[in-house]
Chains A and B, each alone.
Chain A
Amino acid sequence: MENPQGLLKETWHFYKKTLMLVFRGSKIYYAWCISLLAMIIVGFIFYWKQHEMGLIETNLTDQVSWGLYIANFTYLVGMAAAAVLLVIPSYIYQFKPIKEIVVLGELFAASSIIMAILFVMVDLGRLDRVWHMIPFVGSMNFPASLLAWDVLVLNGYLLLNLFIPIYLLVKFYYRKEPNWKFILPFILLSIPWAVGIHTVTAFLYNGLAARPFWNASILAPRFLASAFCSGPAIIIIIFQIIRKVSSITLEDKALFKIAELIAYSMFLNLFLLGAEIFKEYYSGTVHMASFKYLFEGLHEHTALVPWIWTAMAMNVTAFFLFLIPSTRKRLSTLNLGCLFVIVGVWIEKGPGFVIPGFVPDPLGEIHEYVPNLLELMVSFGIWATGLLIFTLLMKVAIPIETGEFSHTEYEKEGYTVKRH
């Protein structure tokens, strides 16, 4: 189609334009990126201290050996899985407003997975041996270990969520209709895969007979329900930001549709939680200790009690905000609801889920855990890494989507073709 020189020129054009897009932006864009970079650097400095001295630098103990890192990991896997909520309506029911934003949703899932993987990596005692867990390079304890499963499904999901949007964006770049017969199977595969990553992550905790708080079959459904609340909530917020700072147009209709989906998921989430609480409290076995620690405090140890009740209040409020059409369709209350869901679910399935698994420990010892500064800083650093990756991806993906950034052939023509 082209001579080698033309191809070289075209490649150069692509990279030059990409760099220009990434490095040029408004003052707010610069401020945003620089503050994220600063957080990443601070996080890295703190992590380096932990890497050199060992995990003694954290507040983790023999009794509570997973903490803030693993809590964030669990939450972020849910975030990533939630991208599927956008895929189902957009590709299967051809719901147009969501279809325009699905590529962005998938890139968001990819960024979440990267954060989730980073959170596991900083939790390891020996990061230098992480290659034992790389498929085909190391030798994993597959299929016995659920952590090995998690490595496989998370990496698979990451590849899938990079491949699909990149394929679509490349097609948009060349102004060609995507070959749906080729890409649709991948898109369809990503739906069960999203359910899979979160199920596997739930099973990772679920299979431990030593930890009755996690050893409940309701865990995987609860995980999915709460993920389908928090993921879409953050996507609603992000899409409003994107709408404001770029030329992409997103109809309110799409946001309201997503909010409606959150209402259903939140109902399921609260229902499943209620079912579990009923079973624990009514049967009143010794396995109730962790629940008691979480909701009431155990033997005057009450570190998590204010947190979980805050989460409960936020989740219930958000449920009503999303349920009632008038509050759902007003941006101010919609955003408030989203904020409640993001924070509420984070507490519920982050620290509110991981820590009570360890309190009391199998011997009945009660050791409370509150993360220290280092853990907070490393966590902020990882969140900043994910947000920066997502920002830069958006900076390139959005112009391709809108047709501002495409093959030279079309750029010269100076007109934009509307897709769809």
Chain B
Amino acid sequence: MHRWGMVIDLDRCSGCQACMAACHAENNIAIIGPEESAMGRTIHWIELLPFIEGEYPHIKARLLPRPCMHCEHPACIKVCPVGATYANEEGIVGIVYSRCIGCRYCTTACPYTVRSFNWYKPQWPKEMEGSLNRDVSIRGKGVVEKCSFCHHRLLKARERAKAEKRELLSEDYIPACVQACPSNAMYFGDLNDPFSTVSILSRERRAFKLLEDLGTEPKVIYLSEGM
């Protein structure tokens, strides 16, 4: 059984936001204008969080790409009153959009603020409507959405492997953000395989997880930046 995980090397990340752009195109994320954004209603499945390290004059502005952590012990799943959020056997945390009642208990429970609520009906410019990804369902007004590790790509890869009468390989499946990263800062693979790149990197001295003390056990592992 695979256990999908991601490693993000902050030393390699240039903060170019290609991952965000790729994610938006891949996952049919609504175009949010500057007005709604200023009011605090945005939707990003992966986001670059700005933070400041140190104090002036020894100060560094940093950016941290943050997808869903796909926690081993997610806070979001247990709070959902209708069971609209689930973790599949390979550890990917997903949402059944058609079950979500929009109570926003999960957005409140998630320590990583990865969950976005659809405050209004998502809209795209007319020219873009024809170019939406047919593999990803469109979320309506009033439901919560978040990063799925491009789960639809896993389904497709599995179908392909089945058609070719072989086992699914870790290389068959890669999320859009990892694929788009121009500086090779993102790695994706099977954490259950001790020799996979992500496994090896996750054991590095630079490896850390966000808010580890909450016991969520994220499957997104960061490699810290050199000073």
Which residues of the partner chain B approach A362 to less than 8 Å between Cβ atoms? 110-113, 211
A138 touching B102, Cβ below 8 Å: no
Chain A residue, CB-CB nearest to B47: A363
- How many angstroms from the CA of A138 to the CA of B98 in the assembled complex? 13
Which among A8-16, A142-150, A180-188, A268-276 touches the partner chain? A142-150
- How many angstroms from the CA of A65 to the CA of B106 in the assembled complex? 10
- How many angstroms from the CA of A132 to the CA of B142 in the assembled complex? 15
Which residues of the partner chain B approach A156 to less than 8 Å between Cβ atoms? none
- How many angstroms from the CA of A126 to the CA of B41 in the assembled complex? 17
The verdict on A1 contacting chain B, using a C-beta distance below 8 Å, is no
Known contacts A54-B142, A140-B81, A129 near B100 by CB under 8 Å: yes
The verdict on B179 contacting chain A, using a C-beta distance below 8 Å, is no
Q: Which of B78, B102, B109 contacts A210 (CB 8 A)?
A: B109
Q: Which of B77, B83, B116 contacts A62 (CB 8 A)?
A: B116
Which residues of chain B from 87 to 131 have a CB within 8 Å of any chain A CB?
99-105, 107-113, 116-121
- How many angstroms from the CA of A358 to the CA of B49 in the assembled complex? 18
The verdict on A408 contacting chain B, using a C-beta distance below 8 Å, is no
- How many angstroms from the CA of A60 to the CA of B82 in the assembled complex? 22
A367 touching B40, Cβ below 8 Å: yes
- How many angstroms from the CA of A123 to the CA of B107 in the assembled complex? 14
The verdict on A130 contacting chain B, using a C-beta distance below 8 Å, is yes
Which residues of the partner chain A approach B162 to less than 8 Å between Cβ atoms? none
The verdict on A133 contacting chain B, using a C-beta distance below 8 Å, is yes
A145 touching B81, Cβ below 8 Å: yes
B216 smallest CB distance to A (angstroms) = 8
The verdict on A151 contacting chain B, using a C-beta distance below 8 Å, is yes
The verdict on A99 contacting chain B, using a C-beta distance below 8 Å, is no
Which residues of chain A from 144 to 194 have a CB within 8 Å of any chain B CB?
144-148, 151
B79 touching A145, Cβ below 8 Å: yes
The verdict on B2 contacting chain A, using a C-beta distance below 8 Å, is no
Which residues of the partner chain B approach A141 to less than 8 Å between Cβ atoms? 78, 80-83
A56 touching B119, Cβ below 8 Å: yes
A49 smallest CB distance to B (angstroms) = 12
B40 touching A62, Cβ below 8 Å: yes
The verdict on B224 contacting chain A, using a C-beta distance below 8 Å, is no
Chain B interface, DSSP helix/strand/loop, else mixed: loop
A54 touching B79, Cβ below 8 Å: no
B78 touching A124, Cβ below 8 Å: no
- How many angstroms from the CA of A177 to the CA of B144 in the assembled complex? 54
> Interface residue count for A (Cβ, 8 Å)?
42
- How many angstroms from the CA of A260 to the CA of B49 in the assembled complex? 53
Which residues of chain B from 24 to 40 have a CB within 8 Å of any chain A CB?
36, 39-40
Which residues of chain A from 84 to 132 have a CB within 8 Å of any chain B CB?
120, 123-126, 129-130, 132
Q: Which of B75, B102, B214, B216 contacts A124 (CB 8 A)?
A: B102
B22 smallest CB distance to A (angstroms) = 22
A145 touching B105, Cβ below 8 Å: yes
B2 smallest CB distance to A (angstroms) = 25
B103 touching A125, Cβ below 8 Å: yes
- How many angstroms from the CA of A120 to the CA of B101 in the assembled complex? 11
Chain A residue, CB-CB nearest to B101: A129
A124 touching B103, Cβ below 8 Å: yes
Which residues of chain A from 327 to 367 have a CB within 8 Å of any chain B CB?
357-358, 361-363, 367
B81 touching A133, Cβ below 8 Å: yes
**5 interchain pairs (CB within 8 A)?**
A65-B108, A132-B81, A141-B80, A144-B78, A145-B105
In the complex, given contacts A124-B142, A125-B117, what are 10 additional A-B residue pairs having Cβ atoms less than 8 angstroms apart? A55-B102, A61-B41, A63-B40, A64-B40, A126-B142, A129-B82, A129-B101, A147-B79, A207-B79, A362-B112
Chain B: residues with CB nearer than 8 A to chain A?
A: 36, 39-42, 49, 75, 77-83, 99-105, 107-113, 116-121, 141-144, 211, 214-216
